[in-house]
Amino acid sequence: MSKTDLKKWVRPHILQMKPYAAARLEFEGPASVFLDANENPYGSVSGGSYNRYPDPLQVAVKAKLAELQGLCPDQIFLGNGSDECIDLLIRIGCEPGKDSVLYCPPVFSMYEHAAKASNVGVEEVLLEPETFQLDVPAVLKRIRENENIRILFLCSPNNPTGNLIRVQDIETLLREFPGIVLIDEAYQDFTDAPSWIKRLGEFNNLAVIQTFSKSWGMANARLGMLYADPELVHFLNTIKMPYNVNEHTQQVILQALEHPDKRDAFVRAMNAERVNLEAELDQLPLVIKRYPTDANYILFKVAEADKLYEHLVQHGVIVRNRNKAPLCSGCLRVSVGNREENEKFLNALKNFKPG
């Protein structure tokens, strides 16, 4: 069992802080007259009822989510998208102008973006070419050279490459790295591999991010979750904006949580379309390499990525051009669409005249 001293990890000034005292958290017991938050008692100009502040700690959503995930509510932090969770984690652990985070490109660009927005340093150790697995010795070397690295960001399945990161490598880093290891599982629902949330009890320096934006089909509601040791969750709650998840979002997420079977059906449909798309890509001479994926997108390599990207745009089909990402030269990333969208994409590919 790894034991990180989270009180030493968190920035000292946060240890001194109390969570913001939201009006509605100041009392206990039943109440029906709320004259504590200077709200408009009549209603909302827009119609609908938006006049009351939302639950700052999203108690109902966390209770339901805890049940679904087999966790305790105090292991759950909810953010305005997982982007907010990433930003807050950096802000509780990294001293601007001094500390750094480490991530392994090619990877989701939000870790770099959020670190830089907070004037936190970024250390990059490339993944292994082609397999896109971690270069563990290089990561270990880097964390030993720079004691100011506070957070290690891993993404599994990895965006944009699609592969899962080897379990054994993550275990090594959880044991060897004294800071927080964050595993971004935005695409977890698309794979059969077990989630790292099952192992939160073993490692108190493990944090796992998931989101409602992909498999649940709720990107617009903006809800991301960070699962971690209750002590770490407490620090996140301490500095978050009091009403970071609005009531409309909490209500639609509660409705969604009644139907995880619908999510599973979406996942099955997307995975079936993915298999189909993979087979089609493998038939095209244009495609030099198609990478295996555990997510709802496929990375593939062509001779003229920029030209193909433009060709697809001309046909009204937008994919992600990853040609300039490290180790991804010649690569485009296509999200798995519905049957009709995938057909349009494949037809546009077939029309491409190279050279």
Ligand X SMILES: *Cc1c(COP(=O)(O)O)cnc(C)c1O
Q: Return d(Cα 157, Cα 295) in angstroms, integer.
A: 6
- Is the CB of 155 or the CB of 336 nearer to ligand X? 155
CB of 143 to ligand X, least distance (A): 22
Instruction: Give the three-state DSSP class for 270.
Output: helix
- Residue range at the interface with ligand X (CB under 6 A); choices 212-220, 255-263, 264-272, 326-334: 212-220
- Residue range at the interface with ligand X (CB under 6 A); choices 61-69, 209-217, 229-237, 257-265: 209-217
72, 167, 219, 265: residue in contact with ligand X (rule CB under 6 A): 219
CB of 220 to ligand X, least distance (A): 9
CB of 165 to ligand X, least distance (A): 12
Using rule CB under 6 A, residue 293 touches ligand X: no
Using rule CB under 6 A, residue 87 touches ligand X: no
Using rule CB under 6 A, residue 99 touches ligand X: no
Placement of tokens 């759950």 in the chain = 76
Cβ-based neighbour number of residue 168 at 10 Å: 9
- Is the CB of 174 or the CB of 245 nearer to ligand X? 245
CB of 311 to ligand X, least distance (A): 25
Q: In this structure, is the dihedral angle defined by the CA atoms of residues 295, 299, 300 and 306, taken in order, positive or negative?
A: positive
CB of 188 to ligand X, least distance (A): 10
- Residue range at the interface with ligand X (CB under 6 A); choices 51-59, 206-214, 229-237, 310-318: 206-214
87, 99, 123, 184: residue in contact with ligand X (rule CB under 6 A): 184
Q: How many residues does the chain have?
A: 355
Using rule CB under 6 A, residue 108 touches ligand X: yes
How would you label 174-203 residue by residue, b for 16+ Cβ within 10 Å and e otherwise?
beebbbbbbbbbbbbbbbeeebbbebbeeb
Q: Return d(Cα 94, Cα 88) in angstroms, integer.
A: 10
- Is the CB of 134 or the CB of 346 nearer to ligand X? 134
Using rule CB under 6 A, residue 75 touches ligand X: no
Q: Which two tokens stand for residue 58?
A: 């999203």
155, 232, 334, 336: residue in contact with ligand X (rule CB under 6 A): 155
> Residue with CB nearest ligand X?
81
CB of 123 to ligand X, least distance (A): 19
Report which DSSP code applies to 79.
E
The edge-to-edge listing of strands for the beta sheet with 287-290 is 287-290, 297-302, 331-335, 320-321
Beta strands in 55-174 (DSSP E): 76-79, 100-103, 121-124, 149-155
CB of 125 to ligand X, least distance (A): 18
Using rule CB under 6 A, residue 211 touches ligand X: yes
Residue 35 dihedral angles phi and psi, to the nearest 5°: -120, 35
- Is the CB of 108 or the CB of 227 nearer to ligand X? 108
Q: Return d(Cα 95, Cα 99) in angstroms, integer.
A: 5
CB of 184 to ligand X, least distance (A): 5
Residue 95 dihedral angles phi and psi, to the nearest 5°: -80, 120
- Is the CB of 6 or the CB of 102 nearer to ligand X? 102
Pairing outcome for strands 224-227 and 149-155 = unpaired
Residue type, 83: D
Using rule CB under 6 A, residue 224 touches ligand X: yes
CB of 45 to ligand X, least distance (A): 29
54, 56, 73, 81: residue in contact with ligand X (rule CB under 6 A): 81
CA nearest to 281, candidates 297, 260, 264? 297
Q: Return d(Cα 73, Cα 244) in angstroms, integer.
A: 17
Residues that bind ligand X (CB under 6 A): 81-83, 108, 155, 159, 184, 186, 211, 213-214, 219, 224
